[in-house]
Amino acid sequence: MDYFGNQIGKLIEELSRLPGVGIKTAQRLAFHIINMPAEQAERLSSSIVEAKKHIKYCSKCCTLTDSELCPICSSPKRDKNTIMVVEDPRDMAAYEKTKQYKGVYHILHGAISPMLGIGPSDLKIKELLARLSSNDIEEVILATNSTVEGEATAMYLSKIIKPLDIKVSRIANGVPIGGDLEYVDEITLSRALEGRIEL
């Protein structure tokens, strides 16, 4: 039943489509937006539209950025000989918070999951292999999540990277099984990185 009218109902409906936003949270957000000063609401909507227009994949690591290369790939201070492979840009951000890792990243944008119909061709694996064939890469650190899908992805990548004569390592088990990297604290992530093992 529509209690608030068409415009508020549409706003609540669109907000409830966001991940993790149920109908009650959508209502709270909708009323907050409606009560904002007009210029603040316009800045919010403009930010969403501009982000949608200008954000793209980094041409090297496939993270989200608004330029050709992300700040990490374009930094001369990063070790370009070591690539950490993660599932998601949020995982990269989690590792950056540790301030321990000095290499570069590669973002897969998911993990292999036959149950969900996600295979290697659905991930940014082809782009990773292109990077490995054209650079002097010394080590690839597989930092996929410690889930069944993350482990399957790490094993798949290990099998296709090892023949390229590149050291392949996996983050240590400081990361809890079944946990997502974005929710793990910095100390645990640092220990997992320091305790990585060669596959």
DSSP annotation of 81 reads E
Tokens of 52: 């949608």
Alpha carbon dihedral 79, 81, 87, 92, in 10-degree steps, equals 0
Architecture of domain 64-198: 3-Layer(aba) Sandwich (3.40)
DSSP annotation of 66 reads S
**Domains of the chain: which residue ranges?**
6-54, 64-198
Residues 6+ apart with CB under 8 A from 69: 58, 59, 60
Note the pLDDT tens digit of each residue in 169-185: 988 766 666 777 777 77
Note the pLDDT tens digit of each residue in 13-51: 999 999 999 999 999 999 999 999 999 999 999 999 999
Q: Please report where in the chains the tokens 């409606």 appear, as a residue.
A: 34
- CA distances (Å), origin 92, targets 4, 59, 101, 160, 182: 41, 16, 10, 22, 8
pLDDT of 1 reads 42
How far is the C-alpha of 161 from the C-alpha of 84, rounded, in Å? 13
Q: Degrees (nearest 5) of the Cα angle 143, 145, 147?
A: 140
Architecture of domain 6-54: Orthogonal Bundle (1.10)
β partners of residue 65: 56
How far is the C-alpha of 139 from the C-alpha of 137, rounded, in Å? 6
Average pLDDT of adjacent 10-residue blocks, the chain of 199 residues: 74 92 93 94 94 93 94 94 95 92 95 91 94 87 89 93 92 71 74 72
